[in-house]
Amino acid sequence: MLKGYKSRLRKMQAVQRDSNGGFRTNVEAQVAETQLVRVQQDIISSSVKTAKLSLVIGTRTSRPAVTTAELEQSERTIDNRRQQLLYAISRMNGAKAVAESLAKKRLFFSSLPAMAEPDKRDQDLLTSNAADLVPVETPWRGTPRSPLFLLETPYCQLIPFSPFDPGLSDANMLVMAKTGGGKTVMVQQFLLMAARSNPLISILERGDSYRPLVELMGGRMITMSLDSEQTINPWDLPEGEREPSKDQVAFLKNLTRHMLGEGEAEDTQLLENLITEAILRTYKRAAIRPSTPIPTFSDLRDELSQWRDEEKNQRVMDEAHLAAIKLRSWTGEKGVYSKLFDRPTTISLDNPWLFFNVEQLSEWQDRTEWHNIVAWQRLAEIVGEYVAKGSKVYVEGKLQTTSWEDRQSGARKYRTEIVARDLLLLGPRENSGGDHQRPTHNENQDQPSHAGSGEIVDQDIPF
Ligand SMILES: Nc1ncnc2c1ncn2[C@@H]1O[C@H](COP(=O)(O)OP(=O)(O)OP(=O)(O)O)[C@@H](O)[C@H]1O
Ligand SMILES: [Mg+2]
């Protein structure tokens, strides 16, 4: 209940702000705000239970109207009664009423016995004029003090606008239209106008529709692909700076989280803190290397894989090691995206107009990775019998890393395998037709104590 009230309160407060964040008088919203605060106070301070109730109330006259004069009279009567109803309800604690003008028929039917259905309409809108919600028509004044772009209205009026105006809360702009609608043409016009103040412009686009403009402006065209030699190291610091700014750390943290994937991390805060701390440590460690004082994502991966948590918190250590494993596809020799991110910067960025054509990045790249899969007992028998080189299988299991000492060199070696728990044979079987999928399950794996041959112990493992 409170959540609903809070969101309504936020809406009522938002209605009282103009596009610059300044105060705008809206008496209806002010009244609603006061009432909503009072109701929430009541709910919080008392032990009274609250419930949400929605009512459809109809008004009518008692006599049928036959003549036009009677009809007009009836309409006035109904109008009056509606006003009285709205007033009566607005005086009830926490209640609000809206005169319905759009969905009368639907609401009337839903008010009949056994026809009830929840009214999903959001009635907090205090205007029925959609244009009130979007400042696209006059009298929108734009940003009079920053005339970076000039927009022409259908009435041949020029409106100055700059997304960088200090009065706006952020500088993002979104241009939406269907394909071929002229988005690129419009953005190119914006960029041309903006060019007067010598900005730094980076264009990311699939395809090269910005090429003529970028060429005209003497900019640089860069084709990005997984195999090209074009690298931008996100860890770069501005010329002369030795430590990362807060913004830089936050940027890298967000990028890292993106690389790790938006998993169902239960404890986002823990992961965020861990990554932030790891980024800072990575910068510190790299700074003392004379040859390459700027780190790369490989350094972050190494930092995470050797993570020592001061409080010896096992969860933190586990998260760090998991993050290090996930970063493998972005880093090092095997990383699919290493050439893009995980090397010192090769692209020269000293041109104010940069155009990155990312078309080739969107092409699906088929890469093979090899894994060792171990199956035991019943599963092993099934694999022996039905699985041949080239068969398609679906495997579910757990990761298991073992280490041993190399007899000759004495070095510690590691090996990670997937211990299969479930196996699904996909595709037709080699020697017989018929069923295409055979789910199998190794019961012994889950309950080793029930297994006839006993639990798998370290000595059983042949390495
Ligand atoms: N105002 C305009 N006057 C004349 N031609 C226009 C105008 N707007 C767009 N065009 C032309 O319409 C075509 C499509 O425009 P544009 O490439 O900008 O579309 P788009 O919205 O970027 O499409 P896509 O989603 O495919 O990228 C282009 O050939 C462009 O030159
Ligand atoms: Mg386009």
State whether the beta carbon of 182 lies less than 6 angstroms from ligand 1.
yes
What SS3 class is residue 418?
A: strand
Residue 177 alpha carbon, nearest atom of ligand 1: 21
CA 179–ligand 1 middle distance (angstroms): 8
Q: 405, exposed or middle or buried, with CB in 10 Å at 0-12, 13-18, 19+?
A: exposed
Residue with CA at minimum distance from ligand 1 atom 31: 185
Spatial CB neighbours of 287, under 8 Å, sequence gap ≥ 6 = 242, 243, 293
419: CB partners within 8 A, 6+ apart: 373, 374, 376, 397, 398, 399, 400, 445
- Edge-first strand order for the sheet with 201-205 is 201-205, 353-357, 220-223
Identity at 43, one-letter amino acid code = I
Q: Residue 187 Cα, ligand 2 centroid: separation in angstroms? A: 9
What does the angle CA 85 – CA 86 – CA 90 come to, to the nearest 5 degrees? 115
Q: Which residue, by CA, sits nearest to atom 16 of ligand 1?
A: 182
Q: How confident is the model at residue 427 (pLDDT cuts 50, 70, 90)?
A: low
Distance 218 CA to ligand 1 centre (A): 23
> Are 372 and 417 a contacting pair, CB within 8 Å?
yes
Per-residue pLDDT of 338-366, as tens digits, reads: 888 899 998 888 899 999 998 888 665 55
Four-residue CA torsion sign, 448, 452, 458, 463 = negative
Per-residue pLDDT reduced to its tens digit, 289-308:
888 889 999 999 999 999 88
- Ligand 1 pocket test: which of 184, 186, 357, 358 has the largest number of ligand atoms within 8 Å of its C-beta? 184
- Per-residue pLDDT of 327-340, as tens digits, reads 888 888 878 888 88
Residues pairing with 220 in the sheet: 354
Ligand nearest to the CA of 178: 1
**What separation in Å is there between the alpha carbon of 183 and the centre of ligand 2?**
6
The residue whose two tokens read 């009337």 is: 108
Q: Kindly state the DSSP code that residue 49 receives in the 8-state scheme.
A: -
How far, in Å, are 232, 373, 422 from residue 437 at the CA level? 46, 20, 13
- Rounded average pLDDT over 41-50: 79
CA-derived radius of gyration, the chain:
33
Residue 309's pLDDT band, with cuts at 50, 70 and 90, is confident
DSSP H helical ranges for 261-341 = 268-287, 297-305, 314-326, 338-341
Cis peptide before 160 (omega within 30 of 0): no
Q: What is the mean pLDDT of the chain?
A: 81
**Is the CB of residue 185 below 6 angstroms from any atom belonging to ligand 1?**
yes
- Measured from the alpha carbon of residue 176, the closest ligand is 1
Residue 183, ligand 1, Cβ within 6 A: yes
> Could you tell me if the CB of 189 is within 6 A of ligand 1?
no
Higher per-residue pLDDT: 432 or 278:
278
Question: Tell me, what's the pLDDT at 452?
Answer: 35
Can you give the pLDDT at residue 448?
34
Better-scored residue on pLDDT, 139 or 314: 314
Q: Whose CA is nearest to atom 24 of ligand 1?
A: 179
Q: From CA 416, how far away is CA 134, in angstroms rounded?
A: 56
Q: Relative to the CA of 182, which ligand 1 atom is closest?
A: 18
Which H/E stretch holds residue 442? none
The upper half-sphere exposure of residue 404, i.e. CA atoms within 13 Å in the direction of its Cβ, equals 11
Taking the C-alpha atoms of residue 450 and residue 398, their distance in angstroms, rounded to an integer, is 20
Distance CA 98, CA 122 (A): 11
Q: Which atom of ligand 1 is nearest to the CA of 209?
A: 17
